[in-house]
A and B are shown apart, each in its own frame.
Chain A
Amino acid sequence: MNGYCEEYDRVVDRGTLEGEQASRWREHLRTCGSCRKQVAADASLREGFAAAPPELSPGFEARLHQRLDRPRSSGRFRPSWRWTLAGYATAATLASIIILSRLPWESLVAPRGLVFALGALVLASPLVLLVPGVRS
């Protein structure tokens, strides 16, 4: 940052300034345009947060206990990348099977058929992700 004064950082580090430190900072501000600019920007940012932050309500613990007592499902189904990939893999496998079934039997032993068969296997391989115990 152009013309950035490190004195500002030191003030931020200290937090609240009192006594001697506060007067030294005021003195510094009179001579340092960069810090004055920074302080003005800070004030403007703080003003932007006019609303006071809320606090936890007094019934927080009681409400938490109620929710803890309620039975909860151990894991809600959420579509994940594993299921999406498995979906694509299933579709690709089906498409490969359809293509293979339309080929004459003799071509299955020919290189073209082998390429198709291997391709189907590779495309279907993400299905293994759905096997329980296989973790991402």
Chain B
Amino acid sequence: MGADTRDAELVRRYLESRDLRYFDELVADYRDRVMRLVLSVLGPELANDAEDVVQETFLRAHDRLESFRGQSLFGSWLYRVAYNRALDHRRMGARRERRAQESAADPPAMVTEDAAATTRLIAGERNRALHQALARVPQPYQTTLRAFYWLELPLAEIAELLGVAPGTVKSYLHRGRARLARVLQKEGFVE
């Protein structure tokens, strides 16, 4: 039995019997891939929230399972739910961060004579600048860049998670890199 047929069968059996074991099988099959998709959208800044978003994805999928009538594949449907939940969460996170930055006083100057600590500090600043710049790259490019460079996912998996062809992922990577370079240039991080 193919994975798609198996998924459809598990959904049908769960809806008929309400036996959680069927739903658990779907969760076991998809939890890691959903986590990777959610992480790609949230990024390292919000990585600690990823598990909550994955939970919310499965809760929402569970509650809307009746409306999933098998017109699309279960996986594609679930990834779409996860992607939208993660995007919502990211938008809320960005708003919270903006408010926190607005209300925060000037950060204390960090002085250190430890060369290793200074190097770490510079690397930390550079990474933060990269993440801030990446957050300004439009979707789905920023998610694709994180999936490829952070999670190091193969093109085929990124394509599956985003519901596009592998060739489209390559084009997202091209455009995403170009957009990121433009943002970094505009912010003065690169010449």
Contact A67 B55 (CB under 8 A): yes
A13 within 8 A of B: yes
Picked from A41, A53, A61, the residue with its CB within 8 Å of the CB of B150 is A53
Contact B27 A64 (CB under 8 A): yes
Contact B48 A54 (CB under 8 A): yes
Q: Is the interface of A mostly helix, strand, loop or mixed?
A: helix
CA distance A72 to B166 in the complex (A): 38
CA distance A13 to B167 in the complex (A): 10
B20 within 8 A of A: yes
B58 within 8 A of A: yes
Chain B residues near A48: list those with CB within 8 A: 126-127, 130-131, 149
Contact B51 A53 (CB under 8 A): no
Q: Is the interface of B mostly helix, strand, loop or mixed?
A: helix
A51 within 8 A of B: yes
| Chain B 30-44 interface mask (CB, 8 Å, partner A; 1/0) | 011001100100001
Chain A residues near B39: list those with CB within 8 A: 53-54
| Chain B 141-153 interface mask (CB, 8 Å, partner A; 1/0) | 0000110011110
Q: CB within 8 Å of A: which of B2-46?
A: 20, 24, 27-28, 31-32, 35-36, 39, 44
A68 within 8 A of B: yes
A50 within 8 A of B: yes
Contact A60 B31 (CB under 8 A): yes
* A interface residue count range (under 10 / 10 to 19 / 20 to 34 / 35 or more): 20 to 34
Nearest residue (CB) in B for A66 is B55
Contact B149 A56 (CB under 8 A): no
B174 within 8 A of A: yes
Chain B residues near A53: list those with CB within 8 A: 36, 39, 44, 47, 150-151
Q: A45-B130, A54-B48 are in contact. Are A64 and B174 (CB under 8 A)?
A: no
Smallest beta-carbon distance A94→chain B, Å: 33
Contact B149 A42 (CB under 8 A): yes
B50 within 8 A of A: yes
Q: A55-B35, A60-B51 are in contact. Are A68 and B151 (CB under 8 A)?
A: no
B54 within 8 A of A: yes
| Chain A 73-104 interface mask (CB, 8 Å, partner B; 1/0) | 01000000000000000000000000000000
Interface pairs (7), CB distance under 8 Å: A13-B166, A48-B131, A49-B44, A49-B150, A54-B48, A61-B24, A63-B55
Chain A residues within 8 Å of B, Cβ to Cβ: 1, 9, 12-13, 15, 41-42, 45-51, 53-57, 60-61, 63-65, 67-68, 72, 74
> Can you list the 6 inter-chain pairs with the closest CB atoms, starting with the nearest?
A49-B150, A48-B130, A45-B149, A51-B44, A48-B127, A53-B39
